[in-house]
Structures are given as structure tokens and as C-alpha cells.
Amino acid sequence: MAINRSCARLARLADAAVVGPAGIGGQAQDWRAPCAALAALPAGDHVAARSALERWFVPYAASNNGDTKGLFTGYYEPELRGSRSRSGRYVVPLYGRPADLITVDLGLFREELRGQRIAGRVQGGALRPYASRAEIEAGALAATPRDGGGPLELVWVDDGIDAFFLEIQGSGRIVLDDGSILRVGYAAQNGHPYYAIGRELVSRGVPREQVSMQSIRAWLAANPDQAREVMNKNPSFVFFRTLAPPAAADDGPLGAEGVALTPGRSLAVDRAHLAMGLPVWLDAEDPLEASRRLQRLLVAQDTGGAIRGPVRGDVFWGFGSDAAERAGKMRSAGRYWILLPRDAAARIPKA
């Protein structure tokens, strides 16, 4: 189960270590017994898993100032075509983390800013905003070395639209020209806020109800003279790192929690509001059939630039065409319940 991967990470923490912002997940010691019980379950025994969860955890409805409804989207691991050197059709770079990029965890300086981060570069002794997407595309990082040495270009791919959507997904597989596969994942971000370019298409006359990942890609491909301008409306820019091959073929990339994501079971959340590793029960519209409910246990194991707020999530659907379809069409209204270990729940003040 996905939760066992999070339990393994929690097991490495000291007993008194707090879990999540403001200790929302209790202390690491609260997880010892529940995690041991879940690890002992027979593989695939869903009845036993449900019984264990009901015994060891207490559900709490997540809300935003009393509103329990929120937005749930999906993401997946895309596949691109590329080369380690610029040649022929491979002319679009994927960048590694620049050596001069400084990221700041504001929570280290102010408790009320926990979970918030900024990024920039030092100029004249002061931290200044980093280059935006448009500035980077215009050459602002020319000759900038990669963190750790070497050229900034990690790999070259053959399609700028694919590269743009890879940034949104956060990780992917690059099929190199020699037939080998290079997996890349999120390394850093330039600090600029994420802007969903679907809004820009709506302002240009595309009906809002028709906007999806698939329709945005189709519009960009059909309007190459406007594509770069539209993509540059999103000033956020993601830098990548190479990833080691997964332990299992169906394992996803490493999420923000530092564990491999599980297709259909890992959830990206806003870590300013939710702890990494917390199990949640999701009840939302099914992305492929709105009349059907998507009801399942997921685990908060990742984050995303567009995932903001206490009732907001992004479901990781895995790799392949089916995953891409689900992720691209998922824009579901829903709600979720946070599952807290009973020992942690016992310390929550009663209203």
C-alpha cells in the first residue's frame, strides 16, 4: 500500500518529531503502532485494510473556513523524445537546477509562514526575483552553469509543448535517441507564481467548459504563432534532475515526501495545510464519468505549484495513455477526510 511507503519514512523520525504544519499529524511516535498494524496486513486484503484503518485512525473532514468542498485535479508521468546533445530535431532544452538559484523556506524564519517558499538570485547583496519563463526563453540563463557543475541543459527534447506540460506534471520519462530511457523529476522552481494558461484561452474565446489538458495542447499545436506567447503567460518555470530507475516497473517518480508515488493512490497537496504521509479518504466526481463517484483512500505524498488551499488535491494517475486521459480530464468537485492516528486525535482539544 502507498501508506506503507510513508510509514517507512515516518519510522526514521524521532518519537517527538512533529508531523506536518503546526503538528497537524501529531508526533512520529503516534504512527508507530498504526504503521506496524498496516505493514502486517496480507497483500491485497482490502477488508482487513479497511478494518485496520477504522481501528487505528480517526477521520476529520477537511474544510476551508467551514467549506468542505474543493477542487481535485490529476497529473501523470508523460513520455517525451530526446537526446543528450542538441542535434537534428532535438532543440528544446530541459534545464537542470541553476547554480545561482536560491530557494528560501520562509517557515525557518517565521512560524506563520511555514510551508511557504520563495526563490531568487543574489544581486548586490540582496535576494532578487529569479528570471521569469519569458525571460528564460529569451536567453536570461545563457552560460549559467548547473548546480554541481556542467551545462545547464540536462537533455534536449523535440517538442516545446511537450516540455511545457512536463513542467506542469513535474516528472516524466525521456526516450533517448539511442533507445534508452532517462527519468527526470522536479529539482526546483524559479519562484514565480503558477498561472494556468487555460484562463488565457478562455480570454481568447475558448469556452470555459471545453478547457482541459487535451484541448489546451490541441490549441497550442493548432496556433504555433501564438503558442509561445500563451505559454509565457505562466511565469513559473521548473528545473529538473535525473532520477534513478524505479525499484519496480510500475513505481512512479519520487514525490515531495521522498517516496515513490503510487498510481491512483498518491495525492499532491498544499503542505502549508497538510502533512506529508497523511492518509485521506477522497470523495469526488469521477474524471471519466461525472455521474459516478471516485471514492478511495489516498496518501499525501507530493506537492504542486498550482495546489493551494486546505481542500485541494492533485491525484497521481501513473504512466501511459490511460493515465494521461484521466489526468487531463480531471477537474472534479469533491471533499476529503484526513485520517489521524487515534493517539494524535486524542490530543486535539474538544470544541
Q: What is the reported pLDDT for 121?
A: 96
pLDDT tens-place string over residues 130-150: 999 999 999 999 989 999 999
Work out the pLDDT band at 268, boundaries 50, 70, 90. Answer: very high
Picking from 349, 348, 344, the residue whose alpha carbon sits closest to that of residue 18 is 344
Average pLDDT over residues 221-241: 96
d(CA 10, CA 8): 6
E strand or H helix that includes residue 231? helix 224-231
My answer on whether 167 and 139 are in the same domain is yes
Instruction: Summarize the chain as % helix, strand, coil (round to 5).
Output: 25, 35, 40
Work out the pLDDT band at 351, boundaries 50, 70, 90. Answer: low
Q: How far is CA 198 from CA 1, 79, 205, 218, 305, in A?
A: 35, 22, 11, 12, 15
Instruction: Point out which residues pair with 254 in neighbouring strands.
Output: 260
Q: Are 343 and 30 in contact (CB under 8 A)?
A: yes
d(CA 195, CA 292): 30
Work out the pLDDT band at 347, boundaries 50, 70, 90. Answer: confident
Q: Report residue 273 as a C-alpha cell.
A: 495545510
Q: Are 38 and 49 in contact (CB under 8 A)?
A: yes
More confident residue, 101 or 319: 101
What pTM, to 2 d.p., does this model score? 0.78
Q: What is the reported pLDDT for 213?
A: 87
Work out the pLDDT band at 315, boundaries 50, 70, 90. Answer: very high
Picking from 199, 219, 257, the residue whose alpha carbon sits closest to that of residue 3 is 257
Task: Choose one of 198, 213, 243: the last residue of a domain.
Answer: 243
More confident residue, 236 or 210: 236
pLDDT tens-place string over residues 72-106: 999 999 999 999 999 999 999 999 999 999 999 99
Say whether pLDDT at 249 is over 90. no
pLDDT tens-place string over residues 49-79: 999 999 999 999 999 999 999 999 999 999 9
Q: What is the reported pLDDT for 208?
A: 87
Domain count, the chain: 2
Looking at residue 143, which CATH number applies to its domain? 2.40.240.50
Supply the Cα-derived Rg of the chain in whole angstroms. 21
My answer on whether 215 and 150 are in the same domain is yes
Work out the pLDDT band at 126, boundaries 50, 70, 90. Answer: very high
Q: Which structural domain range is residue 126 located in?
A: 91-243
Q: What is the reported pLDDT for 234?
A: 97
Determine, yes or no, domain membership for 276: yes
Any idea which of 128-142, 203-217, 256-270 has the lowest mean pLDDT?
203-217
Q: What is the reported pLDDT for 137?
A: 96
Q: What is the mean pLDDT of the chain?
A: 92
Task: Choose one of 243, 275, 308: the last residue of a domain.
Answer: 243
Say whether pLDDT at 154 is over 80. yes
My answer on whether 188 and 148 are in the same domain is yes
My answer on whether 110 and 43 are in the same domain is no
Distance of CA 348 to the CA centre of its chain: 29
Q: What is the reported pLDDT for 350?
A: 65
Which residues, at least 6 apart from 320, have a Cβ–Cβ distance to it below 8 Å?
Answer: 76
Work out the pLDDT band at 218, boundaries 50, 70, 90. Answer: very high
Task: Choose one of 209, 243, 277: the last residue of a domain.
Answer: 243
Distance between first and last Cα of the chain:
34
My answer on whether 239 and 255 are in the same domain is no
E strand or H helix that includes residue 168? helix 160-169
